[in-house]
A and B are shown apart, each in its own frame.
Chain A
């Protein structure tokens, strides 16, 4: 037993509850940090308890048993027991008011934990749904952009193929898909540019494209800044790097249905 010798005698007095003043304060401080001394204190209390065995005397009167058992019967057991303590416990030091607060906090944390778990589950579900949606969008985009896709324009019999463009635009998602076919071949270093024509103000660039050898072109979600209400879409021929404002008259124009 590695009990600090300077506390040995004080521990014996403390075990008997007869240590007072600064010595008691100092020992209690030491006991908090010293497991050896706590253990020795328990043993000294055991030694002191043996002294009680020397206290022989008459048996308690029979009425004392009746008194106790009546009290026991009158006082039903509390169904929730307080937690067991092994030594001078933190619970008892805190007091039951503090302990009750701790229980409330524990309950709160449990609820918070349950709430976080539910949130995690929801987020996971949302993530999986978005993954599925993204995969489908990627499949659509890949089909639209595929160079080997078969593109067919259906027109009345004997009608000459006409340049045609179709815009699908969802303003509140800033989502735009543009499909073109039968577009005339472009001069060198020139490109077509799609414009969003707002109800008021200048046209807004909505993407630059060059059709393939068959006159087909596709734009999917080009980066552009939407402003105001959309009045129409138009296509102009511009330098292949694109323009901030149209530099020529529109060759095609269409309004929303």
Chain B
């Protein structure tokens, strides 16, 4: 399996081909990351049509501006996931795209290029979330998947603002530590 993993083209190589206008490379990247992007859109929007629109939008942005992804700064999968989440939140809150795709730099250590890496990382994340204090996990998910501000979260679950802030930061750092090799 390890040898098979090594033969797959890297994200960097595929993005480089996309920059040259290679449609097949675009198709390969879609096959690699569309489940992740679609899942994020669906989780946020709970609407398959709207999630498809986010999927289309995110990959068309990649096609139009592949140079926006800086391979030296992080994985393409993480970048697409953040872009998808931001677009989905914008759609959910019926607001104009506030998050410019060009502005987002995502630094993430796990390489998500292979199915194996993505599956392993997904399992690790679920394990960390399952082990998290429910209140902390709730704050994290409300912020990420529903795009609520800390003020809105505090009002929704009846906790002080400072507590929500602390929980969100501690939750993110917990994910980081859990995924360290």
Residues on A lying within 8 angstroms of B by beta carbon are 8-13, 15-20, 39, 42-61, 64-65, 67-69, 71-73, 75-78, 81-89, 91-92
Question: Contact partner of A53 among B36, B147, B150, CB < 8 A?
Answer: B36
Residues in A with CB closer than 8 Å to B141 are 51
Interface of B is mostly: helix
Any A CB within 8 A of the CB of B50: no
**B78 CB to nearest chain A CB (Å):** 4
Check B73 against A42 for contact (C-beta < 8 Å): yes
Q: For the complex, give the distance between the alpha carbons of A94 and B30 in Å.
A: 31
Any A CB within 8 A of the CB of B156: no
**B122 CB to nearest chain A CB (Å):** 4
Residues in A with CB closer than 8 Å to B55 are 60, 64, 68
**A159 CB to nearest chain B CB (Å):** 94
Check B151 against A20 for contact (C-beta < 8 Å): yes
Q: For the complex, give the distance between the alpha carbons of A73 and B23 in Å.
A: 7
Known A-B contacts A54-B126, A73-B23, A89-B102; the reply to A84 vs B70 at CB < 8 A is yes
Any A CB within 8 A of the CB of B105: yes
Check A51 against B125 for contact (C-beta < 8 Å): yes
Residues in B with CB closer than 8 Å to A43 are 107-108, 176
Residues in B with CB closer than 8 Å to A82 are 65, 67-68, 102
Residues on B lying within 8 angstroms of A by beta carbon are 19, 21, 23, 26-27, 30-31, 34-36, 38-40, 42-43, 48, 51-52, 55-56, 59-60, 63-68, 70, 73-74, 77-79, 81-82, 84-86, 89, 98-100, 102-110, 112, 118, 121-122, 125-126, 129, 140-141, 143-145, 147-151, 153, 165-166, 168-169, 172-173, 175-176, 179
Quick one: closest A residue to B162, CB to CB? A9
Check A85 against B70 for contact (C-beta < 8 Å): yes
**B34 CB to nearest chain A CB (Å):** 5
**B33 CB to nearest chain A CB (Å):** 11
Check A64 against B126 for contact (C-beta < 8 Å): no
**B57 CB to nearest chain A CB (Å):** 10
In the complex, given contacts A46-B108, A51-B129, what are 20 additional A-B residue pairs having Cβ atoms less than 8 angstroms apart?
Answer: A12-B172, A16-B168, A17-B89, A44-B172, A45-B82, A47-B172, A51-B141, A52-B82, A55-B39, A55-B40, A55-B42, A56-B122, A57-B42, A59-B35, A64-B52, A75-B60, A77-B64, A83-B67, A87-B105, A92-B102
